[in-house]
Amino acid sequence: MAAQLLEIRWHGRGGQGAKTAAQLLAEAAAAAGKFIQGFPEYGPERMGAPVQAFTRISDRPIWLHCQITEPGIVVVLDPTLLRRGDITRGLRQEGLILINSDQQPSVIKRALDQNYRVCTVDASRIAKETIGRAIPNTPLLGALIRVAEIIPLERLLAETERKLARRFADRPEIVSGNLVAVRRAYEEVEDG
Amino acid sequence: MQERIALTGNEAMALALKQINPDVVAAYPITPATEIVQLFSSYAANGMVKTEFVAVESEHSALSAVLGASAAGARALTATSSQGLAYMFEVLYIAASYRLPLVMPVVNRALSGPINIHGDHSDSMGVRDAGWIQIYAEDTQEAYDNLIQAVRIAEDPAVQLPVMVCIDGFIISHALENLEIMADEKVQEFVGPFTPRRPSLLDLDHPVTVGPLALFDYYMEIKRGQAEAMRKAKPVIKEVGQEYGRWSGRKYSFLEPYQLAEAEIAVVVLSSTAGTTRVVVDELRQQGIRAGLLKPRVYRPFPQQEIKAALGHLKAIAVLDRADSFDGFGGPLYKDIRAALYEVPDRPRIINYIFGLGGRDVGLDDIRSVYDDLAQVAAGEAPEFSIRYLGVREEAL
Count the residues in chain B: 397
Cross-chain residue pair A30–B6, CB shorter than 8 Å? yes
CA B74, chain centre distance (Å): 23
Residue contact B176–A26, C-beta within 8 A: yes
Is residue B162 pLDDT above 90, yes or no? yes
Q: Residues with Cβ < 8 Å from B362, sequence gap 6 or more?
A: A66, B273, B276, B355, B356, B390, B391
The residues facing A76 across adjacent strands are A11, A99
Q: What is the DSSP letter of B348?
A: P
Contact B178 A27 (CB under 8 A): no
Q: Which of B31, B111, B25 is nearest to B76 (CA)?
A: B25
Q: Which pLDDT does position B1 carry in this prediction?
A: 57
Within this chain, domains B3-248 and B255-396 share the same CATH topology: yes
Please give the angle made by the CA atoms of B110, B32 and B128, to the nearest 5 degrees.
Answer: 45
CA distance B18 to B79: 13
Question: Which tens digit of pLDDT belongs to each residue from B42-59?
Answer: 999 999 999 999 999 999
B265-280 burial: b if 16+ Cβ within 10 Å, else e: bbbbbbbbbbbbbbbb
Share of chain A above pLDDT 70, in %: 97
Total length of chain A = 192
Q: Are strands B265-269 and B316-321 parallel, antiparallel or unpaired?
A: parallel
**Per-domain boundaries in chain A:** 6-191
B302 secondary structure, DSSP code: -
pLDDT of residue A2: 41
Mean confidence (pLDDT) of chain A: 93
User: How does DSSP classify residue B290?
Assistant: -
Provide the shortest C-alpha distance from residue B7 to chain A (in Å): 9
Give residue limits of the domains in chain B.
Answer: 3-248, 255-396
End-to-end CA distance of chain B: 54
Answer yes or no: are the C-beta atoms of B176 and B7 closer than 8 Å. yes
pLDDT given for residue B202 in this prediction: 84
Inter-chain residue contact A64 with B275, CB threshold 8 Å: yes
User: Any chain B CB within 8 A of the CB of A159?
Assistant: no
User: How much is the average pLDDT of A81-110?
Assistant: 92
B3-248 under CATH 3.40.50.10470, yes or no: no
Segment among B169-183, B281-295, B373-387 with least mean pLDDT = B373-387
Task: Judge whether residue A1 has pLDDT over 60.
Answer: no
Domain boundaries A6-191, CATH class: alpha beta
Q: How confident is the prediction for chain B on average, in pLDDT?
A: 96
**Helices assigned H by DSSP within chain B:** 9-20, 34-45, 59-71, 82-87, 89-97, 122-126, 140-155, 184-191, 219-248, 273-286, 304-311, 332-340, 364-378
Q: Is A6 on the interface with B (CB under 8 A)?
A: no
Q: Is residue A130 classed as helix, strand or coil in its secondary structure?
A: helix
Cβ–Cβ of A66/B176 closer than 8 Å? no
Shortest alpha-carbon distance between residue A106 and chain B (Å) = 34
A168 part of contact set with chain B, CB < 8 Å: no
| Chain A residues close to B272, C-beta within 8 Å | 65
Task: Give the tens place of pLDDT for each residue, A155-184.
Answer: 999 999 999 998 898 999 999 999 999 999
3-state secondary structure of A72: coil
Rounded Cα–Cα distance for residues B177 and B75 (Å):
29
| Residue among A36, A66, A67 minimizing CB distance to B176 | A36
| A45 interfacial to chain B (CB closer than 8 Å) | no
Say which residue, B195 or B120, is predicted with more confidence.
B120
Mean of the pLDDT values across residues B94-118?
97
Question: Which of B34, B177, B276 would best serve as a mutation to test chain A binding (most A beta carbons within 10 A)?
Answer: B177
Average pLDDT over residues A62-89: 93
- Characterise B159 by phi-psi region: left (phi > 0), alpha (psi -120 to 50), beta (else): alpha
Note whether B175 contacts A37, CB cutoff 8 Å: yes
Cα dist from B391 to B353, B359, B362, B394, whole Å: 10, 11, 7, 9
CA–chain centroid gap for A128, Å, is 17
Q: What is the pLDDT of residue A113?
A: 76
Contacts of B174 in chain A (CB under 8 A): 39-40, 42
Nearest CA in chain B to A33: B4
Cβ count within 10 A of residue B112: 12
Tell me how far the alpha carbon of residue A15 is from its chain's centroid. Answer: 14
Instruction: Give every strand in the sheet of A5-13, ordered side by side.
Output: A190-191, A117-121, A96-100, A73-76, A5-13, A50-58, A35-40, B176-181, B3-8
Closest CA to A12 of A118, A112, A84: A84
Q: How far apart are CA B358 and CA B296, in angstroms?
A: 21
CATH class of the domain comprising B255-396: alpha beta
**What are the two backbone dihedrals, phi and then psi, of residue A110, each rounded to the nearest 5 degrees?**
-65, -30
- pLDDT per residue as tens digits for the range B312-342: 999 999 999 999 999 999 999 999 999 999 9
> Residues B175-223: pLDDT tens digits?
999 999 999 999 999 999 998 888 888 889 999 889 999 999 999 999 9
Contacts of A149 (CB under 8 A, 6+ apart): none
Q: Which residue of B has its CA nearest to A36?
A: B177
Say whether the peptide bond before residue B113 is cis (omega within 30 degrees of 0): yes
Which residue in the set A39, A61, A66 is minimally distant from B174, CB to CB? A39
Q: How many CB pairs under 8 A join A and B?
A: 63
Among all residues of chain A, which has the CA nearest to that of B174? A39
